Amino acid sequence: MSVEGIDVSDYSENIDWQKVKSQGIHFAYAKVNYGTYKQDTRFASYWPAIKKAGIIRGAYLFFRPSEEVDRQVKMFAQVLEIEPGDLPPVVDIEQDYYNHQQNDHWDDLSSTEKLNRITKVLTAVEVATGYKPIIYTGPSFWDDKIKTSRFADYDLWIAHFDTNTPTIPGGWKFHTFHQYKGDQTGFPGIPGDVDRNRFNGTLDRLQALTVPTVSLQEGRIGPKVKKLQQTLKKVSQDSSHAEFDPGSPDGIFGPGTKKAVIAYQQANSLTANGIVAPEDKLAIA
């Protein structure tokens, strides 16, 4: 049993999501950014449209090991508002075959450097979003370039075309998603290219993979953090409590925001831990 899905980027162009759904597509992943080199131009329109069409949505980061990890993750998380019912974020770890002028330099790294950078980006995405990411990769790339089973506790999205039984590398026992066709043209509702995928399980299992709401705390990045900062700033202005002001709302839960949250919690006789639970009025204001 499997569930059909797609993944898209700006190469997919202007998508009719209702038509896509009518073709039996139950989930869609959209690219947010290609390292720090490029923000996907259509993500901002795809993200709400996927949900509106009743398709389960997810977002992915194309990781470029030649670039600074934290900048890539910041670029990813700052525009991504993951909500309950969305799929976990994905880190795309593969050779860059599409932009030879922007070499991603996997071959320039030692084995230790490769593993360290993969570890860092996976950890950074989890800290920034609150969700353990899924790894996307191909069997040949992983076996030739990465050569480790260290990350087998992450869910796997395997890219292996034109087969129903993908090769599973890296110590994984099974795959969660299978990308079985790449750069397809002519799919109803999609004027550009699209990749075809299957979830390895039933629709109920896919829905069970979707995420809950998580607390906001130091390290988180994104629109929810920015809303929290804006709320704190307004409460500070309305109550004349300058200590509630986190500074300029930038969507990054840093020390200044934590200090402001703790001040608010102390003033309101709450547990002063700097963590904003999903049900807290600061988070839902």
Using one digit for the tens of pLDDT, what is the confidence trace for 230-260?
Answer: 999 999 999 999 999 999 999 999 999 999 9
| Cβ atoms within 10 Å of 176's Cβ, excluding its own | 20
Q: Are strands 194-199 and 156-159 parallel, antiparallel or unpaired?
A: unpaired
Partners of 198 in beta bridges: 4, 178
Tokens of 161: 């075309």
pLDDT tens-digit readout, 31-74: 999 999 999 999 999 999 999 999 999 999 999 998 999 999 99
How far is the C-alpha of 230 from the C-alpha of 75, rounded, in Å? 20
Which residues are within 8 A (CB) of 247 and not within 5 positions of it... i.e. 6 or more apart? 229, 256, 257, 260
Q: Is the pLDDT score of 281 beyond 90?
A: no
Catalytic residue numbers, as ranges: 7, 94
The pTM of this model reads 0.95
pLDDT tens-digit readout, 108-155: 899 999 999 999 999 999 999 999 999 999 999 999 999 999 999 999
The DSSP string of 210-273 is S-----B-TT-BSHHHHHHHHHHHHHHHHHT-GGG--SS--SB--HHHHHHHHHHHHHTT---S
How far is the C-alpha of 194 from the C-alpha of 51, rounded, in Å? 18
Instruction: Judge contact between 234 and 268, C-beta under 8 A.
Output: no
How far is the C-alpha of 246 from the C-alpha of 66, rounded, in Å? 33
Q: Is the pLDDT score of 101 beyond 60?
A: no
Average pLDDT over residues 218-223: 98
How far is the C-alpha of 243 from the C-alpha of 46, rounded, in Å? 38
Instruction: Judge contact between 103 and 66, C-beta under 8 A.
Output: yes
Please tell me if the domain spanning 3-209 has the same topology as the one spanning 223-284: no
- Residue whose token pair is 């991603």: 104
Architecture of domain 223-284: Orthogonal Bundle (1.10)
Q: Is the pLDDT score of 223 beyond 90?
A: yes
Query: CA of 95: how far to CAs of 106, 141, 283, in Å?
Result: 7, 7, 39
Query: CA of 137: how far to CAs of 73, 102, 167, in Å?
Result: 18, 19, 11
Tokens of 41: 């131009």
Tokens of 117: 């950078």
Instruction: Judge contact between 76 and 220, C-beta under 8 A.
Output: no
Architecture of domain 3-209: Alpha-Beta Barrel (3.20)
For the chain, the domains span 3-209, 223-284
